[in-house]
Amino acid sequence: MDRKFLTVFAVFDLQTQSKLKLWQDAVLKKGNCGTQTMDIPFHISLGSFPIECEQELILRIKDICSKKNKFKINLQKVNKFGNSVLFVQPENSEELFYLHSLFDNNYANGFEWHAHATIFCGEDEEVLLAENVLNGQFEPFTATVTSIAMGEFFPTRMIIDETLL
């Protein structure tokens, strides 16, 4: 896609960021570089929007974060979309589905929403290698969603990262 768009996402706590980064680094050390976006925190995307919605979304994010508490979410397994995206999949979560319902728009690619935290994107063979590395290290754990953020893509520009109560 050659046009810019905005994505709103649920961001994990610092401990989870560190754990996911260690796993991603283990994958990258195997010689894969991938096409995943590296300059944003690990997250679960909630929706994507046209660039013109920036101010409206900033206000919505601030309003939601002033009313909604941080919450726990169980990251349960490694999964992939085809052989091009490797991710950590959370268990179903009422809190996450609620947040998603507030940002239920998929302007960027039209795919159906599936909660996930991307670890690696690449070619088939790279993703299979990355999956083997991750499966050897991954153990389910509980993360905390601490904020809602929004970024512009591509190139990447972080716009807001608002902390939940």
Q: What is the pLDDT of residues 37-96, one digit of tens each?
A: 778 999 999 999 999 999 999 999 999 999 999 999 999 999 999 989 999 999 999 999
Cis link prior to 155 (omega < 30° from 0)?
yes
The CA distance from 119 to 38, in Å, is: 10
The CA distance from 90 to 100, in Å, is: 14
The reply to whether the predicted model has a pTM over 0.85 is: yes
Domain span at residue 79? 5-142
Q: What is the mean pLDDT of residues 145-165?
A: 96
CATH number at residue 30: 3.90.1140.10
150 is a domain residue: no
Please give the tally of structural domains in the chain.
1
